Structure 1
Amino acid sequence: MTRVPVQPALFTWARQRARLDEAGLRVRFPHLAQWEAGEVHPTLRQLEQYAQATHAPVGYFFLPAPPMEAVPIPDFRTMGQGVPRLSADLLDVIYTCQTRQTWYRDEALVSGETPLPFIGSVTLATPPADAAESIRQELGFSVAARRECPTWTDALRLFIAQAEQAGVMVMVSGVVMNNNTRHLDPQEFRGFALADAIAPLVFINGADSKAAQMFTLAHELAHLWLGQTALSDAAMAQASDHATETWCNRVAAELLVPQAEFRAALQQDEALNVSLQRLARHFKVSTLVLLRRMLDVGWLDRDAFWAAYRAEEARLRALTARNAGGGDFYRTTVARVSKRFAQTLVASTLEGRTLYRDAFRMLGIAKPGTFNELGRTLGFPT
């Protein structure tokens, strides 16, 4: 039986890059410990299976040493600094979104779409309140409009719809493509923006809380208004060492909860839990965003803020766990790839400009029947 000589370090590199449990992998690959020790080499079939399991290109295993991979877009994360290397999941999501963006840009240019004037319309010298007002006006995302929403989760859906209506593709997913075994880690990243005047794109880590998703979308829109591609953690509760991230956080906070209106809505001697619920109904944002805003305006000191933030975060996490459940596959797929992108891709495919195989690849589906049903969900008579 022919064995393939592979440097032992490559097996360890692939396992760690995929963030897979070592014990689980050893069940599937009983000789993994020997491969990593250099005592035994795998067969070609075993190597192909291991590459598939770890989401690594098989060609990488013929290198003399593990490759030095870098984030393919500017990296502004702070929470991920302790992560030893990039995950295969994050890289695959970025590459997938770049492929979708390139396709959409080409299709938009053929259709005669013109550049969006708000991309790159501000700089870091622009006051955050002014930048927030520019986004608010472009999207129509005002406190008054949100007040019509029953809950702040409905306000998040409105926020996404308004961003898409303005021309931004918003993709929200907690997994790689439609692979529900490859879960994204909010501790690695919360979102990223791919700036482009024709095809701007925001990806939001759907494995994060709904509260964080609203703030992430606002934060990534600020990057687009700067005309800047960026990978972010967009943490509500922590300060960033990056001046750009600090500016984007301030824009996001002002967009979601305008400071002047927030100060006017605060009431002395009101219990914190009562205040949070009242303000959540008023601004239609999560209580975590409101706590952050209370810290920003000096209503809470840092110790009080952290105590309240951790308690509220735990409460919302428990609530999310109780309400977790499966959803409609087609609506979930549309959310994962953005409604704007899905509608454009399905139309282009039905009209013969895009091959079905390319559409399937970008949508993460495999069957014509699934594609047709997705088209019907989007209103196409397939």
Structure 2
Amino acid sequence: MSQAIISPEVLKWARLRSKLNIDMVAQKVNVKVEKLNEWETGEAKPTFIQAQKLAKTLHIPFGYLFLNEPPKEKADLPDLRNLSDCHFEDFSTDLQDVISDVKFKQDWYREFRQERGDDELKFIGKYSDKDSSKVIADEITEVLNLTIDDRKAVKNWEEFYQLLVKKAEEIGLWVMKSSMVGSNTHRVLDVSEFRGFVIADSIAPVIFINGADAKAAQIFTLIHEVVHLWFNSSGVSNIDFRNDKNSIIDIREKKCNEIAAEVLVPEAQLMKLWNKVLSVSENADNLCKYFKVSSIVIARRALDLDLILAEEFFDYYAYLVEVWKEAKQKMKNNDGGPSYYVSIPIRNGYRFSGDVLQNVYSHKLLMRDGARLLGLKPATLAKFAKEVGVR
């Protein structure tokens, strides 16, 4: 078989970029580690078939392997992450692919909404960092029409999250949530890398939530990204509740955290409900059920409002880390989750999914193009349409 004259330097770059160790890549390409080492050092060359397998495994265009040097990749979105133990210096291949997919969909949706005659959203970019966090939080709460009665009406975090998504989409926002790249169950998104991102746009603003995160944590991330839109700012976030008041973090991120906390846990109500006789853990456990947010959000809010000491907060945080580890293991052992067809609009956004289907079945969009937008095969799109009653 003829050899593929690939660049050893590009091959090694692609493997390191993919976060896969050499053993894993060798296994996927079905060669010995020693052989892969020879390819990376230039002592040997793969066949064209093996080179194609390498490109697929490393999630790069086949042509990249023939470049003289690794391409200079530019981050698609501002990196606003501040998680202190984040081990990702650059965006992983998985995150980059998710961002690219969302941008591809956003380009179509923006054009569709413009042609439909949708108005620009007036609240996008309405405020700056100099404006009052309380004023912005009150406006977001009003625009979303979010009340305490809403919290009382839902049973759990999952229902509250779904309610927030519904309210966000009703005002013109677009919310996507997934725990993997496309529908590839082998490419699970890493919560330690990011919790969500937002791409601001006056016509088709989109929020992406990492579905691999805990349900309660997704609520704060959602509102955090909503706040970004009031500043017309885009970026990838990974909220870290451990930052103290004097931490050197992105000013905008700090502002968005502050506003999101006020939207979800209003200061006046928390001050009224906080019981000084009870411990941090007891207060957090009680109040997280009332506000429908995670207990760490309650504890962090209490710290920022001087209801507890920093030492108390960090002790409680350390305790929760162990609780989260146990919960994560239980999630791994639980195969439950929404059915496949139910998950499609969750992954792509409810209104976006509906608009794509309507365009396909009104013959304004080819079936194959609609399927591509939803990350489906044409036959699966037809079954999905039937499932939701579009055809």
TM-score normalized by the length of structure 2: 0.92
CA distance in 1, matches of 2:262, 2:149: 15
Question: Aligned residue for 2:218?
Answer: 213
Contact in 2 for aligned 1:129/1:251 (Cα 8 Å): yes
Q: Which amino acid aligns with 2:271?
A: R
Contact in 1 for aligned 2:79/2:236 (Cα 8 Å): yes
Give the drift of 1:242. 0.8
Give the drift of 1:227. 1.0
- The structure 2 residue matched to 1:108, chosen from 113, 126, 145, is 113
Structure 1 residue 70 and structure 2 residue 74: aligned? Answer: yes
CA distance in 2, matches of 1:95, 1:160: 22
Q: Which amino acid aligns with 1:297?
A: L
Give the drift of 1:295. 1.2
Structure 1 residue 251 and structure 2 residue 253: aligned? Answer: no
CA distance in 1, matches of 2:158, 2:135: 26
Where in structure 1 are there 5+ consecutive unaligned residues?
Answer: none
Q: Which amino acid aligns with 2:250?
A: H
- The structure 2 residue matched to 1:156, chosen from 156, 161, 178, is 161
TM-score normalized by the length of structure 1: 0.94
Where in structure 2 are there 5+ consecutive unaligned residues?
Answer: none
Contact in 1 for aligned 2:281/2:316 (Cα 8 Å): no
CA distance in 1, matches of 2:348, 2:259: 26
Give the drift of 1:317. 4.4
Q: For 1:175-215, what per-residue CA distance to the aligned partner results, in whole angstroms no more than 9, with x for missing partners? A: 00111111111122211111111101000111122222111
* C-alpha spacing 1:150/1:349, structure 2 compared with 1 (3 Å): same
Question: Aligned residue for 2:364?
Answer: 353
Question: Aligned residue for 2:344?
Answer: 333
Structure 1 residue 372 and structure 2 residue 377: aligned? Answer: no
CA distance in 1, matches of 2:248, 2:51: 42
* C-alpha spacing 1:225/1:84, structure 2 compared with 1 (3 Å): closer
Give the superposed CA RMSD.
1.7
Give the drift of 1:371. 1.1
- The structure 1 residue matched to 2:47, chosen from 43, 49, 63, is 43
CA distance in 2, matches of 1:272, 1:39: 61
Identity fraction in percent: 33
Q: Which amino acid aligns with 2:345?
A: V
Question: Aligned residue for 2:4?
Answer: 4
Structure 1 residue 147 and structure 2 residue 152: aligned? Answer: yes
Give the drift of 1:84. 4.1
Q: For 1:256-312, what per-residue CA distance to the aligned partner results, in whole angstroms no more than 9, with x for missing partners? A: 101111111111211333322221222111112111111111122222111212322
* C-alpha spacing 1:162/1:321, structure 2 compared with 1 (3 Å): farther
Q: For 1:288-340, what per-residue CA distance to the aligned partner results, in whole angstroms no more than 9, with x for missing partners? A: 21111111111222221112123224324423543532321111121111111
Question: Aligned residue for 1:297?
Answer: 305
Question: Aligned residue for 1:165?
Answer: 170
Contact in 1 for aligned 2:200/2:233 (Cα 8 Å): yes
**Between 276-285 and 187-196, the greater mean CA deviation after superposition:** 276-285
Give the drift of 1:377. 4.0
* C-alpha spacing 1:211/1:110, structure 2 compared with 1 (3 Å): same
CA distance in 1, matches of 2:264, 2:346: 21
CA distance in 2, matches of 1:282, 1:224: 27
**Between 53-62 and 270-279, the greater mean CA deviation after superposition:** 270-279
Structure 1 residue 189 and structure 2 residue 194: aligned? Answer: yes
Give the drift of 1:146. 1.4
* C-alpha spacing 1:317/1:170, structure 2 compared with 1 (3 Å): farther
Contact in 1 for aligned 2:200/2:229 (Cα 8 Å): yes
CA distance in 1, matches of 2:229, 2:349: 17
- Count of residue correspondences: 380
CA distance in 2, matches of 1:317, 1:211: 15
